[in-house]
Amino acid sequence: MSYPEPRYLGENGEINAVFRSADTPPDIVSPGGTRTHYLASHTSTGGDFGLYKVDMGPRAPGAKTHFHRSISESFYVLSGELALYDGEKWVTGRQGDFLHVPVGGLHAFRNDSDDPVSMLMLFSPGAPREEYFERVAEFARKGGQELREFQVRHDSYFV
């Protein structure tokens, strides 16, 4: 195994780090109360990855079983208990637990507990997931063909 080809060819490095403080308000609050923080978006990482902190309220439904054709998705539980579907069975993810779902892998998640849960979601390579987070509730209300087209546009294939 070797490192990827260099993408930075300068000699002295650059000042280009991005800091986001813990007290930054969420970028989006869904109608159900889920709060999503855009820690590192497709835009800010140049498409390398997307990292999001998601805070779900008690009994939040999450996402039903689906897969992605072009991105992997990983989950890291920060607090609470998160129900995770690994393609075969539901498991309970607790603080410090991690689930990686390669491209094409079936997965789902939800909060079955009466307590809130907080997690990190990592997409690789980075995809423009922000519109998905911001508009999925709107398209879910519409349903039908519009919802399916929106999901496919965002590399989400529900089964």
Longest dimension (CA), the chain: 54
Domains of the chain and any CATH numbers: 28-158 (2.60.120.10)
pLDDT digits (tens, 9 = 90+) for 54-72: 999 999 999 999 999 999 9
Beta bridge partners of 123: 50, 73
pLDDT digits (tens, 9 = 90+) for 70-84: 999 999 999 999 999
pLDDT digits (tens, 9 = 90+) for 89-145: 999 999 999 999 999 999 999 999 999 999 999 999 999 999 999 999 899 999 999
Phi/psi for 106 (5° steps) reads: -70, 140
Task: Return the pLDDT at 32.
Answer: 77
> CA angle, 83 as apex, 79 and 88 as ends, to 5°?
140
> CA angle, 156 as apex, 154 and 159 as ends, to 5°?
155
Task: Return the pLDDT at 35.
Answer: 95
Percent of the chain clearing pLDDT 70 (strictly above) = 100
Confidence of residue 1 (pLDDT cuts 50, 70, 90): confident
